């Protein structure tokens, strides 16, 4: 490879903020007397997220979406694989500590993720205390007021407790807490699924405004593909611990390739009655297999209308079918 090609490769890689390579997260589950089986919550997952981009992660409940986010931030110690931040692998405790000063998480349930015994000001200020991000108490107060303003809360709310707030306001408090460390990267773990639909739109718009204002990068986890399509640049689809398809948001929703993604898109409601009547819904047969007993070969084959003999023998590798459109299926032309 000549020097020019090496330089081009460096420039392309410099745009990548987060890279996950062959990530695995297994949990040992007791199945009887002295018997344990590995539950493969995340199994050989790889993806990249560029600076300023939003990668959406969708799939059924229990497919491993949340575990990906938590493992990425080392809330769970990875069973295997590698995690890179700005090209540097996160391996040691010191690496994790530094990474957590530039990465944060917004949790799904604003009712259980906030300490009811702490004031709003102390909840938002806790990351400032942990990472020692202020010199004086007045500087701490000023930073808390600034963070509350960013998420649309009044500074007067700082002395109140979380039970006095609605669900949408509580989620704003959680977002302000995530912003306290001035992060580059935020894992958004189904941040609007516990909220009313009218409030969901407000919170999603706020995420977009904060991204533009602060240059944030998101991993946005959700099961509602409409929400993910609205906020994401690219979408990755998970099934039983594996990513089965990944592509640009508009490309994936208009031209899904993997049979699982096709069935997901067929179930999305259409507001136009005429279009809805002509739309053919694909109903998958059977239930999602237990992650303790994942089928051999392709995990989706037991519910797939296109399954053939090779699907039971070989696990399909994710490959580029079209430019920028990847899918893991033996039967895609």
Q: Where are the domains of the chain?
A: 15-102+183-327
- Higher per-residue pLDDT: 194 or 21: 21
Mean pLDDT of 23-48: 90
CATH code for 15-102+183-327? Answer: 3.40.50.300
Mean pLDDT of 246-256: 94
Looking at residue 75, what is its pLDDT? Answer: 94
**Tens digits of residue pLDDT in 170-217:** 999 999 999 999 999 999 999 988 888 888 999 999 999 999 999 999
φ/ψ of residue 66, rounded to 5? -65, -35
Give the integer Cα–Cα distance in Å for 29 and 246.
30
HEC states along the chain? CCHHHHHHHHHHHHCEEEEEEEEEEEEEEEEECCEEEEEEEEEEEEEEEECCCEEEEECCCCCCHHHHHHHHCCCCCCCEEEEEECCEECCCHHHHHHHHCCEEEECCCCCCCCCCCCEHHHHHHHHHHHCCCCCCHHHHHHHHHHHHHHCCCCHHHHHCEHHHCCHHHHHHHHHHHHHCCCCCEEEEECCCCCCCHHHHHHHHHHHHHHHHHHCCEEEEECCCHHHHHHHCCEEEEEECCEEEEEEEHHHHHHCCCCHHHHHHHHCCCCCCHHHHHHCCCCCCCCCCCCCCCCCCCCCCCCCCCCCCHHHHHCCCCCEEEECCEEECCCCCC
Residue 277 exposed, middle or buried by CB count within 10 Å (0-12, 13-18, 19+): exposed
**Tens digits of residue pLDDT in 264-298:** 888 776 666 666 566 677 777 777 788 888 889 99
pLDDT for 5 beyond 70: no
pLDDT for 239 beyond 80: yes
Mean pLDDT of 144-172: 93
Q: What is the pTM of this model?
A: 0.90
Give the integer Cα–Cα distance in Å for 257 and 329.
9
Share of the chain above pLDDT 90, in %: 68
Mean pLDDT of the chain: 89
pLDDT for 33 beyond 90: no
Mean pLDDT of 62-69: 93
């Amino acid at each position: 490879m000549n020097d020019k090609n090496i330089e081009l490769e460096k420039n392309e890689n410099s745009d990548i903020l987060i890279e996950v390579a062959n990530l695995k997260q297994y949990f040992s589950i007791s199945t009887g007397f002295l018997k344990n089986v590995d539950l493969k919550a995340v199994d050989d997952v790889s993806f990249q997220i560029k600076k300023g981009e939003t990668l959406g992660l969708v799939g059924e409940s229990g497919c491993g979406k949340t575990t990906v986010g938590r493992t990425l931030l080392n809330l769970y110690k990875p069973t295997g694989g590698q995690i890179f931040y700005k090209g540097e692998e996160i391996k040691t405790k010191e690496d994790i500590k530094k990474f957590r000063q530039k990465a944060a998480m917004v949790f799904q349930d604003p009712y259980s993720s906030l300490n009811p015994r702490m004031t709003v000001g102390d909840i938002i200020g806790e990351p400032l205390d942990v990472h020692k991000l202020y010199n004086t108490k007045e500087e701490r107060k000023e930073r808390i007021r600034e963070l509350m303003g960013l998420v649309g809360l009044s500074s007067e709310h700082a002395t109140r407790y979380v039970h006095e707030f609605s669900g949408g306001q509580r989620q704003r408090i959680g977002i302000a807490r995530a912003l306290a460390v001035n992060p580059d990267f935020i894992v958004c773990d189904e941040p609007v699924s516990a909220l009313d639909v009218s409030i969901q739109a407000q919170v999603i718009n706020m995420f977009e405004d904060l991204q533009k204002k602060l240059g944030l990068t998101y991993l946005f986890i959700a099961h509602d593909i409409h929400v993910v399509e609205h906020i994401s640049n690219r979408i990755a689809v998970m099934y039983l611990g594996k990513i089965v398809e990944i592509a640009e948001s508009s490309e994936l929703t208009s031209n899904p390739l993997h049979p699982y993604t096709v069935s997901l898109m067929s179930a999305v409601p259409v507001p136009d009655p005429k279009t809805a009547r002509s739309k053919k819904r694909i109903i998958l047969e059977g239930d999602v297999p237990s992650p303790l007993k994942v089928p051999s070969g392709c995990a989706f084959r037991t519910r797939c209308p296109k399954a053939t003999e090779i699907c039971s023998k070989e696990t399909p590798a994710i490959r580029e079918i079209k430019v920028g459109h990847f899918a893991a299926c033996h039967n895609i032309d």
